Amino acid sequence: MPSMPPPDPIRPRSLPRPRLLVVQALAVQPLAAVLEESGYELLRAADARAAIDGLGAGPVLVIMDMELPELPGDGPLTLLRRLAGSGVPVLTLSRPRGPQPVAALHEAGASECLLKPVRMSELLLRIEGLMSPVPAAEPVEPRRPTARMAVRERDGQCTWQTPQARALMAAHFPPPWADHARLPPEVLAWLHREALRRRAGAPPSSLTVAPRAGEGRHRLSFTLTAGDDEVVGEGHWLLVLDRPE
């Protein structure tokens, strides 16, 4: 009688993704894609009513942009008090010379206050700290992986990247480039050419690199996006990474 193959090992169920409530005007939501790539589930609210309703979905953290056009005057502070009063920690984003000073935000219940422009690496670090002891999110492996990183045009310095971007770069470039201090030379040369083309009004073009020997069949494509200076920094570009099928 032929021997039976051993049963497949039971795979542990993946942990639920930490749920964040992001209160931000819909027209200015560059943070959403970065947070989702970093492994968080997002509840999005563009106004006060949606923000209060979002608390019912059980977020572990609220990220609130204090610039909400529909709430003039002290409206944002009033909303902040209501959100913080729920017991969920609230991280606020505001301008250095905004109408609500940092002291007022803390007094209204904010757990953390970040001033714009917000570095994404700092934001992700603060989020993890506020959620403790909730486990940090694990990078998401989407069906067609895409990721983002902010790079300085002058020298290709990577000022922040999502965990997904870090994993994609490490799979295609050996150290030291896989350490993400700077873009590899061939990608940096393309970035300089593409930046000049964009300023001249040329249509976007991408760069596709082959995988390293023995690293599988997947290629990696780069596309340049003009990011908001307040998010990616002046003199920086938002680089979108994609692994085509």
Q: Output the pLDDT for position 78.
A: 95
Q: Is residue 155 part of a domain?
A: yes
CATH at residue 236: 3.30.450.20
102 and 66, same structural domain?
Answer: yes
Q: Which residues contact 197 (CB under 8 A, 6 or more apart)?
A: 205
| Domain closes at, from 131, 159, 188 | 131
Q: What is the pLDDT along the chain (245 residues), one digit of tens a residue?
A: 444 444 333 333 455 788 999 999 876 666 777 788 778 899 999 899 999 999 999 999 999 999 998 888 899 999 999 999 999 999 999 988 878 899 999 999 999 999 987 777 788 889 988 886 555 555 444 445 678 888 889 999 887 777 778 888 888 888 878 776 789 999 999 999 999 999 899 998 999 998 776 656 678 999 988 765 555 667 888 888 988 76
Same domain? For 119 and 162 the reply is no
Instruction: State whether 91 and 176 are in the same domain.
Output: no
Domain boundary residue, one of 74, 105, 131 = 131
Residue with tokens 């002290």: 74
Q: In the prediction, which pLDDT does 3 show?
A: 45
Q: Based on the domain organization, do 65 and 92 belong to the same domain?
A: yes
Same domain, 126 and 150: no
Domain shared by 67 and 167, yes or no: no
Which structural domain, as residue segments, surrounds residue 213? 146-242
Q: Does one domain contain both 102 and 170?
A: no
Tell me how far apart the alpha carbons of residues 28 and 15 are, in angstroms, rounded to a whole number. 30
Q: Is the residue at 12 inside a domain?
A: no
Structural domains in the chain (count) = 2
The pLDDT, as a whole number, for residue 90 is 97
> Do 118 and 168 fall into the same domain?
no
Q: Are residues 79 and 150 in the same domain?
A: no
Residue 1 located in a structural domain: no
In a shared domain, residues 108 and 193? no
Does a structural domain hold residue 13?
A: no
